[in-house]
Amino acid sequence: MTDERIFLGFDVGGTKIGIGIVSESGKFIAGDRIENKDTNPDDILPILVEKTNKLLADNNLQKSDIASFGISSPGPADYANGIMTTPPNNPLWRNVPILKYLSDNLGIKGYFENDANAAALAEGYFGAGKGSKDYIYLTMSTGIGAGMVAGGTLIQGNTFQGGEFGHTCLVPGGRECNCGLKGCYEAYCGGRAVAQDLQKKLADKPDSMIVKCAGSVENIDMKALQEAVEAGDEFAVQYWDEMLERNAQALGSLVQTMNPHKIILGTFAWAAGDLFMKPLREKIVKYCWAVSYKGCEIVPSALRRDIGYYAGAAVAMYFENKK
Ligand SMILES: [Zn+2]
């Protein structure tokens, strides 16, 4: 076996739980996924333990070979105690002490973080943020979550709400956000919010290119918008441009506040590539000082779809290294 430390990670999502075993240099040793849609934690947690034990055994690993495990959890949560409180996409999971359950049943020490922070740590150790001590990762998927690392330290905040940048107000009194506030960054650029807004705007426009790309108004999503933009549809191009303006506004304020070395962008950015990245890089200069932007690279995620295999392990590695 290797002399490197080995970490185990769990990535709890609304439809799946990922298990990943990763070495500290980023070597992917093994992984698995279990279905987690509409599950009861009392049913699924024993299966998770069983699958993990099997994965370790199949890879000739003893419990003592694992330095520790980490959990990447959707918020909101009791972060100090590792309890998932009211995750919106796991309706049956209420006040689940997952950290204690897995520690007790696996016999391995564990750590707990929210999914955006976990993904940021994963990109930092194993992906696009490697070697950087000042960087920000944004999830850019259904919602917009962020993980911020300054001077090598994850910004957790006084009440563990650090990095909830998706709910920074861009437009006072603007679009209603699912969080209850108005004008949040996520309300303009999050996948669910954009889909809802387009569905409303195009409800009586069945001939719209975006509706055609989606198949129906109800199916409109970011992918359909992107396809309509690529096809040169005027409304879609205009909408995309305004959305990128909001992204630039948000990221510009991050650059201005934190002067990061890198901003790493999740799903939409790597899915759309230059169509997303190019206008963003051009527009951002309006929203921050050139001296702050100098040396800041805005890049898509390197781990992409695989990030879930690394996220939990990165949480474990970070807290072990911080000790
Ligand atoms: Zn909000």
Residue 38 falls inside a structural domain: yes
pLDDT tens for residues 210-248?
Answer: 999 999 999 999 999 999 999 999 999 999 999 999 999
**Ligand 1 centroid from CA 277, angstroms:** 24
**Ligand 1 centroid from CA 199, angstroms:** 19
Asked whether residue 1 carries a pLDDT value surpassing 70, the answer given is no
**Ligand 1 centroid from CA 306, angstroms:** 27
Q: What CATH number does residue 258 fall under?
A: 3.30.420.40
What is the band of 2 on the pLDDT scale with cuts at 50, 70, 90? Answer: low
Model's pTM, two decimal places? 0.95
Q: Give the pLDDT mean for 74-83.
A: 95
**Ligand 1 centroid from CA 186, angstroms:** 6
Q: Give the pLDDT mean for 91-107.
A: 97
What is the band of 193 on the pLDDT scale with cuts at 50, 70, 90? Answer: very high
Asked whether residue 79 carries a pLDDT value surpassing 60, the answer given is yes
**Ligand 1 centroid from CA 168, angstroms:** 7
Asked whether residue 109 carries a pLDDT value surpassing 70, the answer given is yes
Q: Give the pLDDT mean for 172-186.
A: 96
Q: Mean pLDDT over all residues of the chain?
A: 96
Distance CA 302, CA 2 (A): 25
pLDDT tens for residues 18-57?
Answer: 999 999 999 999 999 999 989 999 999 999 999 999 999 9
**Ligand 1 centroid from CA 144, angstroms:** 9
CB half-sphere exposure, 61, CA atoms < 13 A: 23
Asked whether residue 89 carries a pLDDT value surpassing 70, the answer given is yes
- Note whether 140 and 80 are same-domain residues: no
Distance CA 159, CA 179 (A): 17
Q: How many domains does the chain fold into?
A: 2
**Ligand 1 centroid from CA 240, angstroms:** 20
Intra-chain end-to-end CA distance of the chain, in Å = 25
State CA 288 to chain mean position distance.
24
- Which of 15, 58, 41, 39 has its CA nearest to residue 102? 41
Residue 1 falls inside a structural domain: no
**Ligand 1 centroid from CA 178, angstroms:** 6
More confident residue, 178 or 213: 213
- Note whether 20 and 71 are same-domain residues: yes
Asked whether residue 100 carries a pLDDT value surpassing 70, the answer given is yes
**Ligand 1 centroid from CA 96, angstroms:** 25
Q: Domain of 41?
A: 6-124+306-322
**Ligand 1 centroid from CA 231, angstroms:** 31
**Ligand 1 centroid from CA 180, angstroms:** 6
More confident residue, 15 or 99: 99
**Ligand 1 centroid from CA 166, angstroms:** 7
Q: Residue 29: its pLDDT value, please?
A: 97
Residue 41 falls inside a structural domain: yes
Please identify which residue in the block is written with the tokens 């474990």.
Answer: 316
**Ligand 1 centroid from CA 164, angstroms:** 9
**Ligand 1 centroid from CA 188, angstroms:** 10
- Note whether 310 and 162 are same-domain residues: no
